[in-house]
């Protein structure tokens, strides 16, 4: 089944987006083949994922992580692959409004749950979420690779009520590593956004 192509929208990452589109196309061809070689059992399976308020039908290898489903099959490359072992937090997404790690989640096991990625955080009019704006205002990143995960984790951190003090923020953001060391500015950004976010 063809992944919906309307998830991408206008993007400043047009070139990357086009490349990822090609990848998604080839993945679709793969999916049309019988089970991958070596799979005595399992192979490709049909699944429906609800991402950013929209259902997506996929036919992918049963082993596909939610992170790979997003990046390789749905052209949602905002979620980043850092360690792919649940240690760095770069792949953080919101599942039923809770922050979870898409690299340790099987895509097939995420069916029936509401998945929010960084692409789904801005308003439908394109207005940035207060946390996104706060990260820009405070320059809370350098290379930016961990940033989507940081922002989603920070949104949940505030919603959980875990952003009351600097120490509280540091403790509850410890699952998101930043090798550039932007931590002090991330704390500042969260403190700005927490006053602008409605709870829940």
Partner 1 sequence: MRPFTYERAGDLNAASRLGANTAQGQIDASAQFLAGGTTLIDLMKLDVLRPKQVVDISPLRADLAGVASTSRGLHLGALASMSEVAAHPDVQRAYPAIAESLSLAASDQLRNMASLGGNVLQRTRCPYYRDPSWEACNKRRPGSGCTAIQGYNHNHAVLGVDESCISQYPGDLGVVLAAFEAEVELSGPAGARLLAFASLHRPADGQPHLETNLRPGEVITGFNVPSGAWTRRSLYLKVRDRSSYEFALASAAVGLDMDGETVRQARIGLGGVAYRPWRSREAEAVLVGKTLDEGTAKAAAQAAFAGAVTHGGNDFKPELGRRTLVRALLQAQSLSVSEAS
**Of the two residues 23 and 104, which places its CB atom closer to partner 1 in the complex?**
104
Q: How far is the CB of 174 from partner 1 (least distance, A)?
A: 4
21: part of which helix (H) or strand (E)? helix 14-32
Q: Does 106 bind partner 1 (CB under 8 A)?
A: yes
Q: Does 105 bind partner 1 (CB under 8 A)?
A: yes
Q: Does 43 bind partner 1 (CB under 8 A)?
A: yes
Among 10, 15, 40, 123, binds partner 1 (CB under 8 A): 40
Q: How far is the CB of 149 from partner 1 (least distance, A)?
A: 9
Among 31, 100, 190, 194, binds partner 1 (CB under 8 A): 100
For partner 1, the binding residues in 49-68 under the rule CB under 8 A are 62-63, 65
SS3 for 152-176, per residue? HHHHHHHHCCCCCCHHHHHHHCCCC
Closest CA relative to residue 166, chosen from 139, 142, 146, 185: 185
List C-alpha distances in Å: 108 to 46, 160, 200. 8, 27, 27
118, 152 Cβ separation under 8 angstroms: yes
Rounded Cα–Cα distance for residues 62 and 31 (Å): 11
Q: Which letter does DSSP use for residue 198 in this model? A: P
Q: Does 160 bind partner 1 (CB under 8 A)?
A: yes
Among 82, 89, 120, 130, binds partner 1 (CB under 8 A): 89
Rounded Cα–Cα distance for residues 89 and 151 (Å): 11
Q: Does 174 bind partner 1 (CB under 8 A)?
A: yes
What are the residues binding partner 1 (CB under 8 A)? 36, 38-43, 45, 62-63, 65, 84-86, 89, 92, 98-101, 104-106, 108-109, 153, 156-157, 160, 162, 170-176
């Amino acid at each position: 089944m063809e992944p919906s192509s309307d998830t991408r929208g206008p993007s400043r990452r047009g070139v990357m987006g086009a490349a990822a589109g090609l990848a998604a196309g080839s993945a679709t061809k793969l999916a049309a083949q019988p089970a991958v070689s070596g799979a005595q059992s399992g192979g490709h399976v049909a699944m429906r994922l609800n991402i950013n308020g929209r259902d997506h039908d996929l036919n992918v290898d049963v082993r596909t992580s939610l992170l790979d489903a997003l990046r390789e099959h749905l052209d949602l490359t905002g979620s980043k692959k850092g360690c792919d072992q649940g240690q760095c937090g770069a792949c953080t997404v919101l599942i039923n409004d809770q922050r979870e790690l898409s690299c340790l989640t099987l895509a097939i096991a995420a069916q029936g749950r509401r998945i929010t990625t960084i692409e789904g955080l801005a308003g439908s009019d394109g207005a940035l979420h207060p946390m996104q704006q706060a990260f820009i205002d405070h320059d809370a990143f350098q290379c930016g690779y961990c940033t989507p995960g940081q922002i989603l984790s920070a949104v949940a951190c505030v919603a959980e009520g875990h952003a009351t003090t600097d120490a509280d923020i540091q403790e509850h953001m410890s699952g998101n590593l930043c090798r550039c060391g932007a931590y002090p500015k991330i704390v500042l950004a969260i403190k700005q956004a927490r006053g602008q976010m409605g709870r829940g």
